[in-house]
Amino acid sequence: RAMATRLLRVPPPEELLRPLAVPERLLLGPGPSNVPRRIQAAGGRQILGHMHAEMLQVMDEIKAGIQYAFQTRNRLTLAISGSGHSAMEAALLNLLEQGDTVLVAINGIWGQRAADIARRLGANVCELLKPPGKYFTPQDIEQGLVQHRPLVLFITHGESSTGVLQPLEGLGQLCHRSVRGGPPEVTTGDLGLGVYVCWAFLWLCCAGGSWCQVWRARGSDTGPTAPSCARGCWTWGLSSLWRRRWVQDKPTTTTTEQGQREDTALCSWRCAWAAFDAREKSPPSVMLCPGSVLGSPGAVGLKVPQQARLPTITTVRVPEGYNWKDIIAFLMENHGMEVAGGLGPTVGKVLRIGLMGCNSTGDNVDRVLRALQDALKRC
C-alpha cells in the first residue's frame, strides 16, 4: 500500500476527507427552487433497476402528471434528466433537418440561444426581434411567417432573462395555417403547439436537471416521426429508443448510465407531480409587485407591460450608483438568500427575483423585501 501511494502522481484530495457541508439557503432566483422535504425523501430512496416493472409504473404516473398539467392526452409525453439547453436542443434536433428554415422569436437570451443551437444543426435561421421587456403580437408573428415561410417557429413562453410572459393564444393556428393552409389536426392542450418544452426543476421543485416535453401528434397518438438528422443522434433523438421507453412501455433505455441517472430522480419527480396536483386545489400563488421592491413603480427597469408580466420571475432595475454584484453577495452572506442578476441582454441592468412552487408564499415576499431594503441601506 505504501508503494502504491508513492507511485501516485496526484495525492488523495484532503477536502474529500471532510464531511460534506451544504448550507441552508432560500433560493429566490430564477431557478432552481428549494425542494420540499417530502420530495427530497422520495428521491433519496434506494434505486431500482432502470428496467424494473415498478420503475416503468412510476414513469407512467409521471406521464399522467405531465398530461394533466398540459391538458393533453398525447402519448409522446416524456420527462428526461438534462439541462434546459438539452431540452431545447432535443426539440430542435427532432424538428429540423439541415437546410430547413426556422423562425426564432428573440426578446431575450433563450431566443438567442435557440437560434445558436439551430445554426449548429445546419438550419437556415431567420430572426424576429423585439427589445428586452417586449413581447410578440399575433401580427408580429404572422408578418414573420409570411416573410420567411419557415418550417418551424421557436418562441419562448416564459423569458426568465427579462421577466416577460409571451402570450401563446392563436400562434399555433397561425403556424398551421401558414404551413398547411388549414387548421391543426390535434392540439397540445388548446394552443395548437407542435412541441412544448419546460424545465421541471424550476417551478416543480424537484431534482435539478430535469425537463419534460409534450409533442403534438400528426394523424396518430404516437407522435411525430423523427427526421433523419435526429435518427443519427444517440442521446436526444426521439427515435425508437425514447419511443420504446416512454410511449410503447417497453423496458429499454439509451444507456445503463442514462437510465440509472433518470431513475434516481423519477421518484422525486413523481412526488413533485403529486404536489403540483395538490397546489392546483389551493389558492393561487402570490406574485411580487415590482414597484414594491424599491418603493416605487419606477423600480421596474424593463417596463414590462402588466398583461405580459411573468408571474414566476420579477425583474427590477438595479438602482443608479449600486453594483448588482454587491447586492447579490450581501443577500447571500447576510440573509442566506439567493437573488440573481440579469442574463444575456439584461446583465448588469436588473435583479431577477423568483417565486416558484413551495417558495411562492407571502412570508417569502416579506422576507425578500426586508432583505433588499437592508441591502440598499448597506451596499
With 0-12 CB in 10 A as exposed, 13-18 as middle and 19+ as buried, what is 214? buried
The three grid cell numbers given for residue 267, joined into one nine-digit string: 421518484
Rounded Cα distance between 162 and 30, Å, is 11
And the C-alpha cell for 355? 417565486
Measured between alpha carbons, how far is 316 from 341 in angstroms, rounded to an integer? 10
**Closest C-alpha among 272, 291, 290 to residue 280:** 272
Give the CA diameter of the chain.
Answer: 76
- CA dist 218 and 224 (Å) reads 6
**3-class state of residue 338 by DSSP:** strand
What's CA 367's distance to the chain center, in Å? 25
Those residues whose C-beta lies under 8 Å from the C-beta of residue 331, and which sit 6 or more positions away, are: 337, 338, 339, 371, 372, 375
Sign for the pseudo-dihedral over CA of 221, 227, 231, 235: negative
Provide the residue count of the chain. 379
Sequence-ordered list of residues with C-beta below 8 angstroms from that of 31, at least 6 positions apart, any chain: 160, 199, 201, 202, 203, 354, 356
Residues 6+ positions from 223 with CB-CB distance below 8 Å: 74, 75, 76, 215, 216, 217, 238, 243, 247
Backbone dihedral angles phi then psi of residue 198, each to the nearest 5 degrees: -145, 155
The owner of cell 420571475 is 313
Select from 210, 274, 299, 296 the least CA-distant residue to 36.
Answer: 274
Separation between Cα atoms, residue 119 and residue 140, nearest integer Å:
22
317 labeled part of a ligand binding site: no
In the block, cell 439584461 appears at 346
Four-residue CA torsion sign, 187, 193, 195, 200: negative
The binding site comprises 352
The binding site for substrate comprises 352
